[in-house]
Amino acid sequence: MPSPVVGIIGNHYLINDDYPVHASGDMNAWAVREICGALPLIIPPDQKLVPIEDIMDTCDGFVFTGGRPNVHPKEYGEPLTDAHGAMDEKRDGLTLPLIRALVERGQPMLAICRGFQELNVAMGGSLYPEIRDLPGRENHRMPPGGTLDEKFAIRHEVTLTPGGVFAKLFGDDSVWTNTLHGQGIKNTGARISIDGHASDGTPEAIYVIDAKGFAIGVQWHPEYRASDDPVSKSLFAAFGAAVNRWWRDS
């Protein structure tokens, strides 16, 4: 039976430090398949391989995944420093214009971690290279060592705007999430609304104001054990509902 297709933005990796591949964590694909009821399709992060118009016509929605490389600061008018870490300019070249095109068309998107940062930058915002260095901020990075369960453990509360987009989605004014990121929002992009914060003030949940379709992002990683975590499951279910509507109506 046919299913909607969700494009999962991949990342560049090296196998054995010398064999280049495009890949994404299988937890992204399982969340899309099990909760959204959609066919997951990994998208190579390079517009030369996947022209934007082609993949928008192929896919019904998109997940902008996390990844170790960061958005290049030239995309928001700042110089590159050592604090910015590794870059992936090919992915930037695909995701930033793709996000703007999806917002314009009203096609569903869910932006996660790096994707959350891409959504803000695509709409004209900027990023801090290392939020743990800011006064009063906590360390939101992945704990060193340990198992996956320890790395992706629930670690902090996110307070949501009462009656806002995320509070309605989750049915509560606060949720508990994992946290595995170094960068964070500095200045918000045009039409970006911050709808949830960690206790140290770090933005954790955003959406595009007056978007034609589902266009939201979270700084945490809901894809980990998404079927078991009620917060993650609610998020992917809402995204999946939007994807299925787009698929039926297009």
User: Of the residues 113, 118, 130, 140, which is catalytic?
Assistant: 113
| 221 catalytically annotated | yes
SS3 state of residue 65:
coil
The mean pLDDT of the chain is 96
Model-wide pTM > 0.95: yes
Angle, CA of 180, 74 and 55, to the nearest 5°: 70
Is 113 part of the annotated catalytic residue set?
A: yes
Q: Are strands 127-128 and 184-185 parallel, antiparallel or unpaired?
A: antiparallel
Cα–Cα nearest to 230, from 153, 180, 176: 176
Q: What is the spatial distance between Cα 250 and Cα 248, in angstroms, rounded to a whole number? A: 6
223 is an active site residue? yes
Protein fold of 5-249 = Rossmann fold (3.40.50)
Distance CA 152, CA 231 (A): 14
Angle between helices 89-105 and 114-122 in degrees, nearest 10 = 60
Q: Is the pLDDT of residue 1 over 70?
A: no
pLDDT tens-digit profile of 28-86? 999 999 999 999 999 999 999 999 999 999 999 999 999 989 999 999 999 999 989 89
Q: How far apart are CA 81 and CA 102, in angstroms?
A: 31
For 178-224, how does the pLDDT look when each residue is reduced to its tens digit (9 = 90+)? 999 999 999 999 999 999 999 999 999 999 999 999 999 999 999 99
**Could you tell me if 205 and 222 are in contact, meaning their C-beta atoms sit under 8 angstroms apart?**
no
pLDDT at residue 129 is higher than 80: yes
Bridge partners of residue 6, in order along the sequence: 40, 61
